[in-house]
């Protein structure tokens, strides 16, 4: 199989290596990143000879997507629409596309799968799929056992995604609930920032457990307006991804929240992380979606107030934890 891979961040490189190691031919588009920088980084990473042989890099989008059987996407949620628009405007449309980015588009409130349908057209819908779940790139690189979920608007494509990505250490489950698979992976980043702020302020495991549990409730409430099944959100792409991101001190969203708790400004925290913090972007779109549908999302509101309104993290968390008590599932 010949694969056109879009994106060369931590997650993009991780999956591209996995696919190349399986024996697939991978042409990886690195965007505006200097090729010399990418090659230098790759030289310092541990990877098999087979993975090196089967993967090539290019800054030319047309070259990356010419004569491929499938397209895999790992750009940022903010950058997805511009990249898809470039593809739609070219003569490169045709192969199925698998989305691995996690987010909700600002202003439109669209899931990334919905963005793809809007840009590529309804006729392309059956060729759109996604991959999501608890999958920290560093652990996948080390071939530690990982389980994720694949979905698509088309059953055959969903099963193809499972077959393409599955290895003895990377297990891919099929699930037809495309909206929930996309939504859970986006929302968990916001809750992870909240948990990291709590940890950074010295609060304990009780506090974090409350934030994670109430965070899942928040995800399920807001997910209902996007047609997400609660059962799916309780699975790998929702609860599973939430646990991995909130409990891992190496996740970028967790690091970002920890830096905020230590007194860094949002810009300073992002610079220290050194990678795109999807939770900071999705926080805005989730809040917009909640306001549109009049849904109470207190954790999202607290994170937003810290990042965009300059509220002191300690004050925001304390206000969150001293809200009026109501029935648990309301």
Give per-residue pLDDT as tens, 107-118: 999 999 999 999
Question: Could you list the active site residues?
Answer: 188
Q: Which two tokens stand for residue 217?
A: 């409730």
- Where does the pLDDT of residue 90 fall: very low under 50, low under 70, confident under 90, or very high at 90 and above? confident
Domain covering 185-321 in this structure, CATH number? 1.10.1040.10
Query: pLDDT for 143-160, tens place per residue?
Result: 999 999 999 999 999 999
Asked if residue 138 has pLDDT above 80, the reply is yes
Tell me the C-alpha to C-alpha distance, in Å, between residue 166 and each of 86, 140, 150, 161, 274. Answer: 30, 12, 10, 8, 30
- pLDDT tens digit sequence for 167-208: 999 999 999 999 999 999 999 999 999 999 999 999 999 999
pLDDT of residue 327: 78
Pick from 183, 128, 186: nearest CA to 152: 128
Q: Mean pLDDT in the chain?
A: 92
Q: How far apart are the first and last CA of the chain?
A: 49
| pLDDT, tens digit, 9 for 90 and up, residues 251-306 | 999 999 999 999 999 999 999 998 889 999 999 999 999 999 999 999 999 999 99
Exposure letters 156-188 (e unless 16+ CB within 10 A, then b): ebbebbbebbbeeebbbeebebbbbbbbbbbbb
Instruction: Assign domain 2-178 to its CATH architecture.
Output: 3-Layer(aba) Sandwich (3.40)
Q: Delimit the domains of the chain by residue range.
A: 2-178, 185-321
pTM of the prediction?
0.92
């Amino acid at each position: 199989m010949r694969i056109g891979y879009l994106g060369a961040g931590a997650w993009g490189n991780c999956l591209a290596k996995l696919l190349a190691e399986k024996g697939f031919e991978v042409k990886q588009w690195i965007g505006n990143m200097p090729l010399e920088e990418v090659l230098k980084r790759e030289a310092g990473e541990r990877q098999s000879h087979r993975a090196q042989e089967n993967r090539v890099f290019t800054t030319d989008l047309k070259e990356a997507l010419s004569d491929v059987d499938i397209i895999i996407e790992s750009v940022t949620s903010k950058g997805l629409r511009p990249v898809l628009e470039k593809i739609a405007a070219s003569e490169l449309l045709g192969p199925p596309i698998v989305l691995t980015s996690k987010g909700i588009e600002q202003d439109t409130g669209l899931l990334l799968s919905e963005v793809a349908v809007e840009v590529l057209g309804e006729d392309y819908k059956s060729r759109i799929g996604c991959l999501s779940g608890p999958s920290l790139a560093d652990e996948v690189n080390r071939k530690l056992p990982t389980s994720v979920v694949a979905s698509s608007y088309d059953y055959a494509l969903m099963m193809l995604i499972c077959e393409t990505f599955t290895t003895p250490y990377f297990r891919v489950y099929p699930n037809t609930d495309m909206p929930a698979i996309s939504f859970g992976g986006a929302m968990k980043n916001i809750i992870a920032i909240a948990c990291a702020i709590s940890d950074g302020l010295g609060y304990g495991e009780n506090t974090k457990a409350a934030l994670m549990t109430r965070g899942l409730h928040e995800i399920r409430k807001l997910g209902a307006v996007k047609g997400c099944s609660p059962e799916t959100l309780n699975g790998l792409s929702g609860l599973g991804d939430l646990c991995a991101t909130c409990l891992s001190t190496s996740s970028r969203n967790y690091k970002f929240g920890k830096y905020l708790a230590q007194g860094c400004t949002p810009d300073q925290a992002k610079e220290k992380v050194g990678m795109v913090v999807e939770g900071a972007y999705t926080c805005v779109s989730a809040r917009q979606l909640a306001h549109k549908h009049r849904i109470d999302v207190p954790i999202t509101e607290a994170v937003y107030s810290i990042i965009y309104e300059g509220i002191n993290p300690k004050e925001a968390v304390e206000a969150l934890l001293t809200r009026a008590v109501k029935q648990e599932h309301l």
